[in-house]
Amino acid sequence: MAETAPILELRELRKSFGALKATDDVSLDVRPGEIHALIGPNGAGKSTLIHQVAGSLTPDGGEIRFNGEDISGLTVAQRVRLGLGRTFQVSSVAPEFSALRNVMLSVQSTQGSSFRFFKPVMHDASLVDAAMEKLSLVDLAERADVVAAELSHGERRQLEMAMALALNPKLLLLDEPMAGMGPEGSKNLTGFLDTLRHEVPILLVEHDMEAVFSLADRISVLVYGSVIASGSVDEIRTNRDVREAYLGEED
């Protein structure tokens, strides 16, 4: 059977900060239907890599291919329009608006027709429906009318996810989505991501190993900017280099 073409492919990506090689010849890919997790110790270069894929940081060399196209020279906005989605660590939520309105603004931004400005946003049934669908997906429909500033930390992360999904991404970059979620929130989000992968493949940076091991189809381990191992959960769990360099487990 022919291999499915990757949706995202990094080829020999490089980025240095002075003498520090934060991304050292990294090649990896994400295929349709999968969660590819990127793990590694603090300072290994995970966020630096995500920023280069998203377009907020320019690589020194190498290639970023998305859907078969080299996107290395595109801006963040151009990449978003092509379907590269992400949730931001710095929140893009407007705190004074309701959860529903925040998602509606995301939906609206995909439609790009100026005549909509003449129609009050909250009365546009198609926008409301589309936004409610995304809020339901992330299990936040019951909180639709709550002002974003009053949502809990976990709920705000769910809202950010709904806003990212409203842009109809073909791939999601998730940088530590479990951070600050608490056990219940992490469990819910894990369940959600587990089903989401079939619609949207995910490149996942996450420190929560329980979540990574239960979700990832493949894992790449980054240490000092280099991928030291890449494979299935079992392959990574039993890889001697990984255990020594990162997991620090007994035996």
Ligand X SMILES: Nc1ncnc2c1ncn2[C@@H]1O[C@H](COP(=O)(O)OP(=O)(O)OP(=O)(O)O)[C@@H](O)[C@H]1O
Distance in Å, CB of 96 to ligand X, minimum:
30
Among 20, 122, 179, 209, binds ligand X (CB under 6 A): 20
Distance in Å, CB of 21 to ligand X, minimum:
9
Which among 193, 99, 178, 188 is positioned nearest to 142, based on CA atoms? 99
Q: Closer CB to ligand X, residue 155 or residue 208?
A: 208
Quick note: the x/- pattern for ligand X over 39-68, rule CB under 6 A, is -x-xxxxxxx--------------------
Instruction: Compute CA 84 distance to the chain's CA centroid, rounded to the nearest angstrom.
Output: 9
Interface stretch with ligand X, choices 15-23, 83-91, 147-155, 232-240 (CB under 6 A): 15-23
Distance in Å, CB of 131 to ligand X, minimum:
31
Judge whether 236 and 224 are in contact, CB under 8 Å.
Answer: no
What is the torsion angle, in degrees rounded to the nearest 10, for the CA atoms of residue 129, residue 130, residue 134 and residue 135?
-30
Place of tokens 């949502």: 151
Interface stretch with ligand X, choices 16-24, 90-98, 131-139, 178-186 (CB under 6 A): 16-24
Judge whether 160 and 87 are in contact, CB under 8 Å.
Answer: yes
Among 22, 135, 137, 165, binds ligand X (CB under 6 A): 22
Judge whether 130 and 166 are in contact, CB under 8 Å.
Answer: yes
Distance in Å, CB of 186 to ligand X, minimum:
17
CA distance 11 to 29: 9
Judge whether 39 and 95 are in contact, CB under 8 Å.
Answer: no
Q: Closer CB to ligand X, residue 44 or residue 189?
A: 44
16 near ligand X (CB under 6 A): no
Quick note: the x/- pattern for ligand X over 113-152, rule CB under 6 A, is ----------------------------------------
Place of tokens 């490089």: 14
Q: Closer CB to ligand X, residue 48 or residue 98?
A: 48
- How many residues make contact with ligand X (CB under 6 A)? 11
CA distance 48 to 128: 36
Distance in Å, CB of 215 to ligand X, minimum:
18
Q: Closer CB to ligand X, residue 160 or residue 175?
A: 175
User: How many CB atoms lie under 10 A from the CB of residue 145?
Assistant: 9
- Identify any residues that bridge with 17 across adjacent strands, giving them in sequence order: 20
Strands 69-70 and 84-86: unpaired
Q: Which residues bind ligand X (CB under 6 A)?
A: 17, 20, 22, 40, 42-48
